[in-house]
Amino acid sequence: MTTTLFPASERGHAALGWLDSYHTFSFSHYFNPDRMRFGYLRVFNDDTVAPGAGFGTHPHDNMEIISIPLEGTIVHRDSMGNEQPLTPGMVQVMSAGTGITHSEFNGSSTDVLKFLQLWIIPSERGVAPRYAEADVPSSLGVHTMVGPINGSAPLGIHQSAWLHVVRLQAGASTSIALHDATHGSFAFVISGRATVNGVDVAPRDAVGTTDATTVEITTHEDLHAIVIETPMA
């Protein structure tokens, strides 16, 4: 088993007034040749958006985009005609495929918006754009929210990758089995503290693991985390 710690303190940072964004991997003006991606996970951004502000209409293509609101409301609009408020407890996926435009704004004029956005490189280019969202169960445990299209997960993407939302109490342990022994796992802590595959992680830390068939988690505080399984090659 090979593990890599991605400390919160070593992320790229953009402070733009209306946006405070942390980048685990190279993105925009942040470039680190040792932090380009983890397998097919290309972008992992941790964004805070000021009241009334947001990302104006902009294009994407050939990327699987996942948004996870943590605090506040995302107002999403896209060229497919979707207009949806997204709140904590939801996960949104969008296959950009042949090309889309969209915008994301803070739906409040008084409160900040906090959300995670992930980009996963697709296994197939030039697909028809798609959009979907789903509610995460409120119960404790490991909830598989995203997986390959036509699989058993509530939300599908064009890649053999899975995303799990993990909520566990302090002192709990769990094991997540990978679907393929050649895949890697990337675990990001939203809140709480835990040991993941032998590595101690704190809020906003992440740990990537290869050459393992499971993700082993033991919590030291109540834990809210995201675990992604991705092909590596």
- Digit-coded pLDDT (tens) for 158-186: 999 999 999 999 999 999 999 999 999 99
pLDDT attached to residue 146: 98
pLDDT attached to residue 82: 87
- When divided into structural domains, the chain yields a total of 1
Contact status, residue 118 vs residue 161, Cβ threshold 8 Å: no
Residue 84 has pLDDT above 90, yes or no: no
Q: What are phi and psi of 22, to 5 degrees?
A: -115, 135
DSSP string, 194-206: EEETTEEE-TT-E
Q: Considering only CA atoms, which of 229, 92, 90 is closest in space to residue 164?
A: 229
How far apart CA 165 and CA 68 sit, in angstroms, is: 10
Q: Which neighbouring-strand residues pair with 184?
A: 230
154 Rama sector, left if φ>0, alpha if ψ -120 to 50, beta otherwise? alpha
Least confident of 76-85, 96-105, 132-141: 76-85
> 213 falls in which pLDDT band (50, 70, 90)?
very high
Structure tokens at 51: 């009241």
> 188 falls in which pLDDT band (50, 70, 90)?
very high
Contact status, residue 154 vs residue 190, Cβ threshold 8 Å: no
The CATH number linked to 84 is 2.60.120.10
Mean pLDDT of 35-40: 97
Q: Name the 3-class secondary structure at 9.
A: helix
Residue 61 has pLDDT above 90, yes or no: yes
Contact status, residue 70 vs residue 48, Cβ threshold 8 Å: no
Range of 40's domain?
2-230
Instruction: Identify the burial level of 219 via C-beta atoms within 10 angstroms of its C-beta, where 0-12 means exposed, 13-18 middle and 19 or more buried.
Output: buried
Residue 233 has pLDDT above 90, yes or no: no
